[in-house]
Amino acid sequence: MFPTIYDFGTINLFGFSFPLAIHSFGFMLVVAFYTTYFILNNDLKKLNYDENLASDLIFWAAFGGVVGSKVYHLLENLDQVFQDPIGMIFSGSGLVFLGGLIGGTIAVTIILNKNKLPWLEFADIVAPLLILGYGIGRIGCFLVGDDYGIPTGLPWGMSFPNGLPPSTTSVFSLYFPWIDISKYNPGLLKVHPTQLYETFISIVIFFYLYNKRKSVKIKGSLFFLYLVLAGLERFFVEFIRTNEKYFLDILSGAQIISLIMISIGILFLFRPINEKSQQSM
């Protein structure tokens, strides 16, 4: 794997010394934000919106997304928060997409309300970009060896000897004791590269939604379709991820939220929000 794209070493500046490096996960987040910004800016120009609107939306979506994902991560790992609250809060890990979606949606909603812009119309505009950004971000997870799946004997299974954490039997016994690894020999394990699965599925969903954006007849329908497709993607991939299944021992927290996303999407696809309701959002 390639957790670091380039290491500049230790930099001395104004009497301070600090390490400086370009990390692959952060780099892919930047790629995701700039890619979605370029597409959004192009679409908004065609719709004659202010040229600064795209940058405002992307910035606040990113800010709200980071805060929301961090809060979600902390809530899912309260035991570790109690043991090391400062370390958990200020660590670079824990950017969970489902929490980010909630936080980003709240932040963007505030910006849209401030500028008196139609929520449903913009929800349809950004829907394809949400899944695209997610897919690009998953490449970053793959490069650092994070968020991989359960052990597998399939020919495309991959090992992460330097992952976060490494995909070894000792790591699985320590961090993922609910996963049965009794049939595997001690040492390095091959696991499902779920990051790449999600990247591929996300890109397919992106092209599907993006091609449908000009044929939207009911405002909001593309966004609610996104909720259904993104929820289904995460729900099924989650079965082969390492997250603990603590709800009835078969579903993880991410799957519960995915089911909520799917339910909300289906509800409003069949019962669209009317224009008057939209103005009050």
pLDDT tens track for 229-278: 999 999 999 999 998 888 888 898 889 989 999 999 999 999 987 755 55
- Prior bond of 3 cis (ω within 30°): no
Q: What is the pLDDT of residue 253?
A: 83
Query: What's the rounded mean pLDDT across residues 180-205?
Result: 95
Q: Is residue 105 domain-resident? A: no
Q: How confident is the model at residue 77 (pLDDT cuts 50, 70, 90)?
A: low
Position 261 in a domain: no
Phi, psi (rounded to 5 degrees) for 272: -60, 150
Contact 111/60 with Cβ under 8 angstroms? yes
Instruction: Please indicate, yes or no, if residue 36 is contained in any of the structural domains.
Output: yes
Tell me what pLDDT residue 64 has: 83
Least confident of 45-59, 95-109, 131-145: 95-109
pLDDT of residue 89: 55
The share of the chain scoring above pLDDT 90, in percent, equals 47
Would residue 66 count as lying in a domain? Answer: no
Per-residue pLDDT, averaged over 121-128, amounts to 92
Of 86 and 35, more confident: 35
Torsion sign (Cα): 251, 252, 253, 255: negative
- Cα–Cα distances in angstroms (integers) from residue 138 to residues 39, 141, 150, 273, in the given order: 19, 5, 17, 32
CA pair distance 280, 18, nearest whole angstrom:
49
pLDDT at 144 over 70: yes
| 243 assigned to some structural domain | no
Is residue 258 within 8 A of residue 245, CB to CB? The reply is: no
Give the single-character DSSP code of 191.
B
Residue 108 Cα distances to 1, 31, 116, 136, angstroms: 34, 20, 12, 20
Mean pLDDT of 214-225: 91
In which domain, by residue range, is 141 found? Answer: 4-49+118-207
- When divided into structural domains, the chain yields a total of 1
In a domain, 148, yes or no: yes
**Percent over 70 (pLDDT), the chain:** 88
Residue 127 predicted with pLDDT over 80 = yes
Residue of higher predicted confidence among 90 and 204: 204
In eight-state DSSP terms, residue 188 is B
Residue 107 confidence (pLDDT) above 80? yes
In a domain, 15, yes or no: yes
Asked whether residue 169 is domain-assigned, the answer is yes
Does 14 have pLDDT greater than 80? no
Contact between 148 and 175 (Cβ < 8 Å): no
The alpha-helical segments, DSSP class H, found in the chain are 24-46, 53-76, 78-83, 85-90, 97-114, 119-144, 169-175, 194-212, 221-237, 253-270, 275-279
Predicted confidence at residue 95, as pLDDT, reads 55
Q: pTM of the entire structure?
A: 0.86
Query: Which own/partner pairs from 74-81 qualify as long-range (CB within 8 Å, at least 24 positions apart)?
Result: 76/253
